[in-house]
Amino acid sequence: MTPQEASGRGETLPSPMNPLTSDPYLILLGHNRWANRAILERSTPLTESKFHQRFEIGPGSLHDTMTHVIGAILRWCDRIEGRPLRARIDGRTKPDDTTPMTRRTPAELITLNDTACAEFFAVFEHQRSAGLLSEARDWTFGDQTSRFNVAAAIIHVTNHGMHHRAQCMNMLRHLGHPVNADLDELEWQVAGEP
């Protein structure tokens, strides 16, 4: 999107009074929230059947993929803060559970995304202010334990979102609703960092 296109849509553009964000963490976190929302907003006009249409990619549908992305953000909040993991938002008890997912509309997922990303930002701020970003920890998933630091976990969450949004963009293209953008960090800044 060009600056002219952004300003024509009423979006705030950076200026000397409104400088661009340069903190890499804040770029990743702000962009992740915005890009998730963009996929869900693009999904809003779809019929329920198209929003749930199955594809042989990722979790299998726009709904299931974005539910997975948002649920991962929430559970990583718990992992990073050292809390017990909350219940999965998809209604399942484990990743390989075949129980049908709890269904939500795009609007409901937009609200849940905003909540999850706000919580994730608060977790990041807590970890950064406590000087814990470089702290290496053991993280257990199923029966496997790996060691990496908090900063890597935070970056993983945003990269995880990017990976699955690319799948969603492909699904939208197949549904006749292509996203004519990359939805990357550059477009987020050009759009005024919404």
Query: Residue 173 belongs to a domain with what CATH number?
Result: 1.20.120.450
Tell me the pLDDT tens digit for each residue of 74-95. 999 999 999 999 999 998 887 7
Q: What's the token pair of residue 60?
A: 């299998």
Q: Are 105 and 96 in contact (CB under 8 A)?
A: no
Q: Please, what is the angle between helix 62-81 and helix 106-129, to 10°?
A: 20
Structure tokens at 71: 């649920």
Express as a percent the part of the chain with pLDDT over 70.
91
State how far the Cα of 138 lies from the Cα of 169, in Å rounded to an integer.
34
Confirm whether 13 is domain-assigned.
no
The H or E element containing residue 144 is strand 144-149
138 in a structural domain: yes
**In this predicted model, what pLDDT tens digit does every residue of 131-157 receive, in sequence order?**
999 999 999 988 999 999 999 999 999
- The Cα 122–Cα 97 span in angstroms is 30
Domain contains 14: no
Residue 12 lies in a domain: no
- Nearest Cα to 159, choosing from 85, 73, 55? 73
Query: Does any domain span residue 124?
Result: yes
In a domain, residue 30? The reply is yes
Q: What is the pLDDT of residue 9?
A: 46
Write out the residue range of the structural domain in which residue 146 sits.
25-94+102-187
More confident: 16 or 63: 63
Average pLDDT for the chain: 91
Whether the full predicted model's pTM is greater than 0.85, yes or no, is yes
What is the count of structural domains for the chain? 1
